[in-house]
Structure 1
Amino acid sequence: MQIEIWSDVVCPWCYVGKRRLESALADFEHADEVEVVYRSFELDPSAPHHGHEKTLPQLARKYGRPEDEMRQMVASLVETGAEEGLELRLFDTVHTNTVDAHRLLHHALAVGGPAQQRALKEELLAAYFTRAEDVGDHDVLVAAARAAGLEEGPAREVLAGQAHAEEVAADVEQARAYGATGVPFFVVDRRYGISGAQPADVFAQVLRTAWTEAHPPLQVVGAGEAGEACGPDGCAI
């Protein structure tokens, strides 16, 4: 089974949704046969590459809300994150561009597979939300890459050019084709879409349904009928 997750590394609900999916997978008996792959989605492609402005006032302008009202909404989200074991420093994060982070995530997938990509994703989310670092800064990205087990040299080469930019754009186009207008957006086996950071039990239900459909039970024909057969005690000839 494959789960594709469209998300951004500056999306707090993506971090919350990641934890909720992980909770569902922890109780899923076939979790070791589930492959999780991250896909790119840029919440604000126009954001500066080296952001200095705090995110909160930028969001207040974007949505036309007073800063005090936005502060209350952010505080509520911080509490939600805490319920999932996350310490979200949402009042300290900066508004920054994420395309390079996404290119680096594609690099991790290409050289290390889904497991190393997941490790990098966690490092990037932690850098932005728990340490309030600028994930548009290449030094921050390289540090996350090293922490995820990637080699520094190739990571810097990726960031210095435009490697994997086409893959990032393709992910965004696929999200649009699915009708996703926001993230996180989860797709299970290209059959089931889950929009938003749903509760863990919603993920668990979809996992069970998708697994059953992909592995239908054997339909035994003639069970109970007196057909000739050999058993554990031999054959009655």
Structure 2
Amino acid sequence: MKVEIYSDIACPWCYIGKRRFDQALERFAGQGEVEVVFRPYQLVPDAPATASPHRAWLAERYGPQSRAMDDRVTELGKAEGIDYDFDAALHANTFLGHRLLHLAETEYGPAAQGVLKEALLKAHFTDGVDVGDRAALTEVAVAAGLDRARVTEYLAGEEGAREVREQLAEARQLGISAVPTFVFEGQWAVQGGQDADTFLKVLQQVAAESQGGAEHSSGAEQGGTEHGEACADGACAV
């Protein structure tokens, strides 16, 4: 079974969704036959190359509700073992990070990409790392197991940029407008940071459908996403 997870490094619900999906996968009897690949999505594609404080950016964009948004995610994150530090977090463009994830998938494999994804989320949300900075990204990648010389060479040029742009365009063509979105076997979509029990049930149902060859219309489990540029319970939408 192939699971493609559309998410952004700067999406707090993507971090929660990954942790919950990981928990479900650990409980799934067929976990050894599941391939998980992360696909790029940018909530703020026009974010400047120079990072700025997350709190200030969010307040400017969403007003007084921004603090409550962060507080809500922080509390939910604790249950998943995530230590959000929004005071330290930086608003940054995530395109370079997505290129790095593409490198990890294509040259190291999906498992290594998953390790890097977790490292990038932690770097952004817990450690206050500028995930739009090449030097900072290199250190995160090396700590996650990638080769320093290869990462340095890769980020210095434009390798992977075309492929990432194509994948971003594909996400738009698929109608994905909120993340995280989990696509199972290219047919079934689940949107939002669902709880682990829901993810486990979906894994079991998709496995049964795939094995049985039964007809099934694709649909989506919604995660409480609101219209507009906001992070509601379950997903971040643009």
Offset at 1:210? 0.6
Aligned to 1:207: 203
Aligned to 1:189: 185
Aligned to 2:164: 168
Offset at 1:3? 0.5
Q: Does 1:135 align with 2:131?
A: yes
Q: Does 1:108 align with 2:122?
A: no
Aligned to 1:23: 23
Determine helix, strand or coil for the equivalent of 2:38. strand
Structure 1 length-normalised TM:
0.86
2-side partners of 1:193 and 1:91: how far apart? 33
Determine helix, strand or coil for the equivalent of 2:92. coil
Offset at 1:11? 0.9
- The amino acid across from 1:122 in the alignment is E
Q: Is the 8 A contact 1:8 1:183 kept in 2?
A: yes
Determine helix, strand or coil for the equivalent of 1:158. helix
Q: Does 1:58 align with 2:57?
A: yes
Gaps of 5+ in 1: 218-237
Q: Does 1:71 align with 2:82?
A: no
Larger Cα-atom Rg: 1
- Where is the strand percentage greater, Structure 1 or Structure 2? 2
- The runs of 4+ residues in structure 1 deviating greater than 4 Å are none
Q: Is the 8 A contact 1:49 1:98 kept in 2?
A: no
Q: Percent identity?
A: 42
2-side partners of 1:22 and 1:96: how far apart? 26
- The amino acid across from 1:14 in the alignment is C
Q: Is the 8 A contact 2:89 2:126 kept in 1?
A: no
Aligned to 2:150: 154
Q: CA RMSD in A?
A: 1.3
Determine helix, strand or coil for the equivalent of 2:129. coil
- The amino acid across from 1:62 in the alignment is R
Superposed CA offset, 1:135-164 (max 9, x none):
111111111111121111111111111111
Gaps of 5+ in 2: 214-238
2-side partners of 1:62 and 1:73: how far apart? 12
Counterparts of 1:69-108 in structure 2 under 5 Å?
69-108=65-104
2-side partners of 1:172 and 1:56: how far apart? 26
Aligned to 1:225: none
Q: Is the 8 A contact 2:88 2:126 kept in 1?
A: no
Offset at 1:12? 0.8
1-side partners of 2:151 and 2:208: how far apart? 40
2-side partners of 1:85 and 1:209: how far apart? 27
1-side partners of 2:33 and 2:140: how far apart? 27
2-side partners of 1:90 and 1:187: how far apart? 29
2-side partners of 1:56 and 1:197: how far apart? 22
